[in-house]
Structure 1
Amino acid sequence: MTKLQNPVLPGFNADPSMIRVGDTYYIANSTFEWFPGVRLHASKDLAHWQQLPSPLSTKTLLDMKGNPASGGIWAPDLSYADGKFWLVYTDVKIVEGAFKDMTNYLTVSSKIEGPWSEPIKLNGVGFDASLFHDEDGRKYLVQQTWDHREYHHPFDGITLTEFDTTTMKLQPKTARTIYTGTEVKLVEGPHLYKINGYYYLFAAQGGTVFTHQEVVARSKTLEALSFETEPGDPFITNFDTPDNYVQKQGHGALVETPSGEWYYASLMARPWNHVNESSTDPRGWSTLGRETSIQKVEWDEAGWPRIVGGHGGTTFVDLPKDAIETTAPAHHSQHDDFTSPELDTLNWNTLRIPFTSEMGTTGDGKLTLIGKGSLANTHDLSLIARRWQAFYFDATVKVKFEPFSYQQMAGMTNFYNDRHWSFAFITWNEINGHVIEIGENNRGNYTSYLKDDAIKIPTDTEYVWFRTKARKESYSYEYSFDGENFKEIPVTLDAAILSDDYILQSYGGFFTGAFVGLAAVDYSGYQLKAEFRDFDYKELGDKLLPDGSYSWQASESRFD
């Protein structure tokens, strides 16, 4: 293998912060309201990535109870200096409106696997904070700066503040704006590097949508407003390459290989269109969220970095000459028989808080969830979920649940946030007792699809099996009473409703991606338990072939 294929981290893996330590590359990604916080991967060849335990795995390091959807962990920054890994992360408490209340934290570890130190509060000046370790030993926090005043632009440039390693505190009096971006506005996601006598500032602009881009500026000093912008086109963007397979590239980080080659990790997306839509307006629906791409970088004669192949990037990228082959799963299918007494947090996530006995238990071949609030609840919720990481997949689970009220529900969900989800579940109604229903929340408006025609569960049935089938533009649910003979529930759901781009049309928090999960609801407050067994997530591919089969074939074009 001589090339990597983008995305290198499929599914919701946004805002990559990439570094190299020795012969190993590491990427840290945003997780927003999903727990545990910050997603970590390692590789020696840039093509194959092994997932590592998430560093923010305790409520001491991260407590997001009540956080709004797409709040929480924004753009973590991973760096290595002085024999330690340094992780800066932001917990955002307000997403919409004039304010972005947040706290930036720092945690340190001698090993990437942890343990990570108690969090140190840094400031709340702005999000996307990163730590720059200068050659003289001094350290600086570099961050987007937020301005709530309605008569100013809210993105108030990139601020640099010195960090005192003796006190482990920032020195606010040293703060200064070093860069204000270009007329594109929305400058954010800064990372600072010292290369060949210049300080190079990489920063995102244009918002994390189809107008997204990354610009580069440089300066000989770190004085206020001393940085000049790279001439010509942006460093990377897909704004003017609507046909590219890879879209939305921008926010990311630069790394040098041991032999002196350069690569850039960026967020990206793979939008699709309904057959009756223009390919450019809307440009598409990104149900897999913002993923991670890697592009090769070369330097021009004037000392500016350029993306190999042009600023739109490519799907296939040459591997480093010194790449060391890395073993990692080719795809991300998962089977969980719930025999472990601990939840598998490499695959499963919870919302805002860790999985504890208050939510349920796992082990002895079953997952027990204690019914809590509805799927619209941002405080008390019993749900575990995993990312969609392919356009075509099947997911199946076996459920035991004996509700006595329509306020009690348990089953399988496809979920974006508290306002956008669907749910195939066992419940109770006045007509048939135990029944199967499908509900959908779309922009906060709830619809029951089966209503009085909800599927009656035979009285001697102990378990119900649910299967969801994702087929890129749409998805559906099936049920079975014996685990072998499945019947389709006659409801086809539009997958676009679970995309960043759809959420953006009505709501400011649109930063995650679609998940498939298991949930138990009992908003009556009686905490009725549900039992889940044998969860299976089977990826089929990213492309539908003419003969009806699937493949992982990619191309340089969205439409091949």
Structure 2
Amino acid sequence: MIRNPILPGFNPDPSICRVGRDYYIATSTFEWYPGVQIHHSRDLVNWRLVARPLNRKSQLDMRGNPDSCGVWAPCLSYADGLFWLVYTDVKRFDGNFKDAHNFIVTAESVDGVWSDPVHVNSSGFDPSLFHDGDGRKWFLNMRWNHRPENHSGAAHNAFDGILLQEWDPAARRLVGPAKTIFAGSRLGLVEAPHLFRRDGWYYLTTAEGGTGYEHAVTMARSRTIDGPYELHPDTHLFTARDHPEAPLQRAGHGQYVETPEGEAYHTLLCGRPLPPRRRCTLGRETALQKCAWRDDGWLYPASGSPVPEVEVEAPAGAVAQERPAAVLHDFSGGVLPAEFQWLRTPEPERIFSPTARPGHLRLFGRESIGSWFEQALVARRQEHHAFRAETVIEASPEVYQQAAGLTHYYGRTKFHALGLTMHERLGRVLTILSCPGDYPEGRLEFPAGSGVAVGEGALELAAEVRENDLRFFWRPGGAGGWRAIGPVLDAGVVSDEGGRGEHGSFTGAFVGLFAFDVSGRAMPADFRHLRYEALG
């Protein structure tokens, strides 16, 4: 069976592409660098991260991008011997504008070197590229409307329908007229267009209802690529909006794929809320649902219900592989482990080095934790509702403006951090810095007060999350039992729904290592490893 989510923890907006017997899924990374995650599978059950293609300054520079901006909704496709990746870099979150720039990059292999980007347009976000059977290529994106009115018939003013225009790959630009081909259903907030062709029909899937609990996959079809498009008999192919009891919520934004044998599947994003406040602490994850074609020429969920299932029938021959409960990232290989990312900057050498001290990851303290420009924070995704993370740190802060340690992090207004710093009276101390979602000020709280004096030498730090609760621990390096520090903290604020609510942000939770030095001296901090373990 396929066990959902197939990509657990912050892997939203899944675009799926099959090449022969190989399947690839590209997901959004927002402000995390490098941009776009691509996973690979041969059986739709077992998935492995194989590439983050936007990995240099000429492709992506997100310094100054607000939280939940950056790389939105990539679309991955294969044609003409190339992989094509379309993506948006969003530069603004609040207010009437989004400043969303759409680009195309290509590569001969997914894990190879991707080209420098070609700018396509900036009229909206969630772009996709459709390769038609006659060799023509078509670019789609939702169109963003900053005015309090629209004339497309869309149910929501800002989400002004799906735009279609031809792409000329030789000239590397859009050609011909741009046309709004689909205004969406009455649910509104239409976005995430994906086209495919079957039996003389153009089928269009879109996302509607926003990224929260009203989310849905909407389907339509037309005999001609530019419409008019008629809605699916059920309007929505997948949604959990009327089923709050379902384990997979927020179902929407996905793409159709067929196996070589003709079996039909559809990706979608989902969230797994925790009671009592229905906060999705793992962010938006990727699920896969089986579908079936009926005699009316429409695609339907194989289960007969639009509510996504946790267990789905897999293609013949698939065998699930056990995922290890614990992973030790030991930083001994001289490269950053594949699971880790950092924030915004295309100049990682300024914030960390895996070679400066053999067997360690060295962070260089830069701007404050939560900075939109240059902060030293290197982290991996939270993949389980209950987990424990441990590290060993060596650092010598000289003033209270320098700190380094372990953090449970979502964004600049939603995080908890256990930091080693200097106190004028107590000397070297461990303290807690929390920002429990007070948007937009980002004010800090200090649940452990001035902190605990820890003396000199290496320290072991740990964070233990059990659903909505977080507790930090520490001990002198290699000696004695673990000691709790500070109170039990609200881990649920480190979620999409934390702070100002479900549409206020939509990325996911990380656990990782940080250092800041707002005195401007770039204090180094060395970390021996990060151990991540799922808890039962």
Q: TM-score range by the shorter chain?
A: over 0.9
SS in 1 for 2:255: strand
CA separation of 1:429/1:332 partners in 2, compared to 1, >3 Å: closer, same or farther? Answer: same
Distance apart, 1:40 and its partner CA: 0.6
Q: Is the 8 A contact 2:392 2:477 kept in 1?
A: no
For residues 354 and 331 of structure 1, what CA distance do their matches in structure 2 show? 31
Within the candidate set 493, 499, 503, 2:495 is matched to: 499
Q: Would the alpha carbon gap of residues 332 and 75 (structure 1) be closer, same or farther in structure 2, given more than 3 Å must change?
A: farther
Residue 92, structure 1, aligned to residue 90, structure 2: yes
Q: Which of 501, 505, 512 is residue 510 of structure 1 equivalent to?
A: 505
Deviation at 1:19, TM superposition (A): 1.2
Matches within 5 A, 1:64-103: 64-103=62-101
Map of 1:139-154 to 2, 5 A cutoff? 139-152=137-150, 153-154=157-158
One of 468, 486, 489 as aligned partner of 2:485: 489
1:165 partnered with 2:169? yes
**Matches of 2:219 and 2:9 in 1, distance apart?**
27
- Secondary structure of 1:357's counterpart equals helix
Point out where structure 1 has 5 or more consecutive residues left out of the alignment. Answer: 275-281, 541-549, 551-560
* Residue identity matched to 1:164: D
The question of whether the paired residues in 1 share the 8 Å contact of 2:279 and 2:495 is answered with yes
Q: Secondary structure at the match of 2:350?
A: coil
Could you tell me how far apart the structure 2 residues matched to 1:228 and 1:268 are? Answer: 26
| Alpha-carbon distance between aligned partners in 1 of 2:42 and 2:20, rounded to the nearest angstrom | 9
CA distance in 2 between counterparts of 1:258 and 1:272 reads 38
1:455 maps onto 2:452 in alignment? yes
Post-superposition offset of 1:144? 0.7
1:359 maps to 351
Letter in 2 for 1:208: T
Are the aligned partners of 1:95 and 1:509 in contact in 2 as well (CA < 8 Å)? Answer: no
For 1:420 and 1:523, locate their aligned partners in 2 and report how far apart those are by CA, in whole Å. 20
Deviation at 1:311, TM superposition (A): 0.3
Q: Contact 2:345 / 2:373 at 8 angstroms: preserved in 1? A: no
- In the alignment, the residues of structure 1 paired with residue 223 and residue 533 of structure 2 have an alpha-carbon distance, to the nearest angstrom, of 52
2:526 is aligned with 1:531: yes
Rounded to whole Å, the distance in 1 between the matches of 2:216 and 2:223 is 24
- Counterpart of 2:128 in structure 1: which amino acid? S
Q: Give the TM-score normalised by the residue count of structure 2.
A: 0.95
* CA–CA distance in structure 1, aligned partners of residues 134 and 352 of structure 2: 51
Is 1:407 aligned to 2:404, yes or no? Answer: no
Give the C-alpha shift of residue 509 in structure 1.
4.6
Change in CA separation of 1:88 and 1:412 when aligned onto 2, cut-off 3 Å? same
**Residue type of the alignment partner of 2:306:** H
* Displacement after TM superposition at 1:367 (Å): 1.3
1:370-397, Cα deviation, whole Å (9 max, x unpaired): 1111112111211101100011111111
Is the CA contact (8 Å cut-off) linking 2:382 and 2:509 kept in structure 1?
Answer: yes
- The secondary structure found in structure 2 opposite 1:343 is coil
Deviations 1:18-49 (A, max 9, x none): 01110111100000000010001111111110
Q: How does 1:244-323 map to 2 (within 5 A)?
A: 244-274=246-276, 282=277, 284-309=278-303, 310-321=305-316, 323=317
Distance 2:402 2:335 in 1: 26
**C-alpha separation between the residues in 1 aligned to 2:477 and 2:124?**
54
Q: How does 1:72-221 map to 2 (within 5 A)?
A: 72-152=70-150, 153-171=157-175, 173-221=176-224
1:394 aligns with 2:388: yes
- How far did residue 233 of structure 1 move? 4.9
Alignment partner of 1:335 out of 323, 328, 331: 328
What is the CA distance between 1:490 and its match in structure 2? 3.2
1:494 maps to amino acid: D
2:294 and 2:266 map into 1 onto residues whose CA distance is: 16
How far 1:457 sits from its partner (Å)?
1.2
Could you say if the C-alpha distance between residues 268 and 421 of structure 1 is closer, same or farther in structure 2, counting changes exceeding 3 Å? same
Bigger shift: residues 287-296 or 362-371: 362-371
Q: Is structure 2 residue 18 aligned with structure 1 residue 20? A: yes
1:446 match: 444
Determine if contact 1:69/1:509 at 8 Å carries over to the other structure. no
Residue 9 of structure 2 corresponds to residue 11 of structure 1: yes
Q: TM-score, normalised by structure 1?
A: 0.91
Contact 2:211/2:503, CA 8 A, preserved across alignment = no
State the alpha-carbon separation in 1 of the partners of residues 532 and 215 from structure 2: 32
| Higher alpha-carbon deviation: 526-535 or 310-319 | 526-535
Contact 1:98 1:150 in 2 (8 A): no
What is the one-letter code of the residue matched to 1:261? E
What is the SS of the residue equivalent to 2:497? Answer: helix
* Separation in structure 1 between the aligned mates of residue 503 and residue 247 of structure 2, nearest angstrom: 26
Residue 557 (structure 1) aligns with:
none
How many Å apart are 1:523 and its aligned residue? 0.5
Structure 2 letter corresponding to 1:451: G
Q: Secondary structure at the match of 1:449?
A: coil
Q: Deviation digits for residues 163-211 of structure 1, max 9, x if unmatched?
A: 012211111x421011000111100000001111000000010001100
> Is the CA contact 1:33–1:70 (under 8 Å) kept in the aligned structure 2?
yes
Query: For the residues of structure 1 that align with 2:328 and 2:167, how far apart are their CA atoms?
Result: 45
Aligned length: 522
State how far apart, in whole Å, the 2-side matches of 1:195 and 1:362 are.
49
Give the distance between the partners of 1:385 and 1:417, measured in 2 at CA. Answer: 12
